[in-house]
Amino acid sequence: MLVTLEGLDGSGKTTVWEALRDTYSDAVFTREPTDDSWYGEAVNRAIGDDDADPLATLFLFTADHADHLSRVVRPALDAGELVISDRYSDSRYAYQGASLRDSDLKRPMEYIRGIHSAFTRPPDKTIYLDVDPETAAARSGSTNKFEQAAYLAEVRANYERLIEAEPDRFVRIDATQSPEEVLDEVEAALDDILADA
Ligand SMILES: Nc1ncnc2c1ncn2[C@@H]1O[C@H](COP(=O)(O)OP(=O)(O)OP(=O)(O)O)[C@@H](O)[C@H]1O
Ligand SMILES: Cc1cn([C@H]2C[C@H](O)[C@@H](COP(=O)(O)O)O2)c(=O)[nH]c1=O
């Protein structure tokens, strides 16, 4: 089973993902962008480059996803493992959907979903840590072009569209709560997900 954690920068995904390692010690913990491949390194260069072309950036993230799928996600799922990924394809739909809003693409999010549909493995469940863009930007420190409240507001609107399209896949958690409360709710959600599997 593939469970993903999604949300704005600073929503607390990595804090939760790290804590879950103790409780679900048999699971495979992974993330996007990957932190152990040259594809991930290329993505991180694009994140840090204010002049990086948004369409080129989409394809770098998508290449990293293809490598992540074939090298980590599919083998683990084929072996019957529980995979928990800190960010996954929805990040691309939400973030690059916003970055490409003023491009020549008519419907960027649909275009990006179309590219993925030919090869991706969709998540079985997605835990969405919901936080307002101002809190997200403040917590993340606004250190790069993605961590800006105005941009994150567009990203959040895209996440809402994704949730509206697939309400059964998403579990929304109020991520403005304390870290302890957020973790409790995520663990309860994950227990329910695994019990229903
Ligand atoms: N529920 C919370 N309440 C207040 N602060 C939090 C909460 N969860 C995480 N933080 C703090 O917010 C900052 C960002 O948290 P974290 O790295 O987990 O977020 P993230 O969603 O993984 O962000 P990014 O996507 O940018 O990596 C950290 O300083 C963390 O300690
Ligand atoms: C996977 C993915 C990520 N992003 C953005 C979101 C963040 O601002 C950075 C890095 O992610 P992290 O969780 O802070 O390490 O990249 C994106 O725009 N598109 C994606 O597909």
Residue 32 pLDDT grade (very low, low, confident, very high; cuts 50, 70, 90): very high
23 is in an annotated binding site: no
- Ligand nearest to the Cα of 87, by number: 2
40 is in an annotated binding site: no
pLDDT for 147 equals 84
Best residue among 126, 146, 154, 155 to mutate for probing ligand 2's pocket (most ligand atoms within 8 Å of CB) is 146
Q: What is the ipTM score, two decimals?
A: 0.98
DSSP string, the chain: -EEEEEESTTSSHHHHHHHHHHHSTTSEEEESS-SSSHHHHHHHHHHH-TT--HHHHHHHHHHHHHHHIIIIIHHHHHTT--EEEES-HHHIIIIIHHHTTTSS-SSHHHHHHHHHHTT----SEEEEEE--HHHHHHHHTS-STTS-HHHHHHHHHHHHHHHHH-TTTEEEEETTS-HHHHHHHHHHHHHHHHHH-
**In order of start, what are the domains of the chain with their CATH numbers?**
2-31+81-196 (3.40.50.300)
CB of 186 sitting under 6 A from ligand 1: no
Instruction: Using the predicted structure, report yes or no on whether residue 143 has a pLDDT greater than 90.
Output: no
pLDDT for 93 equals 98
Mean residue pLDDT across the chain: 97
What is the mean pLDDT of the segment spanning 168-195?
98
pLDDT for 197 equals 87
13 is in an annotated binding site: yes
pLDDT for 192 equals 97
Q: pLDDT tens digits, residue range 39-57?
A: 999 999 999 999 999 999 9
What is the mean pLDDT of the segment spanning 52-68?
98
CB of 76 sitting under 6 A from ligand 2: no
pLDDT for 142 equals 84
* Percentage of the chain modeled with pLDDT above 70: 100
Query: pTM to 2 decimals?
Result: 0.97
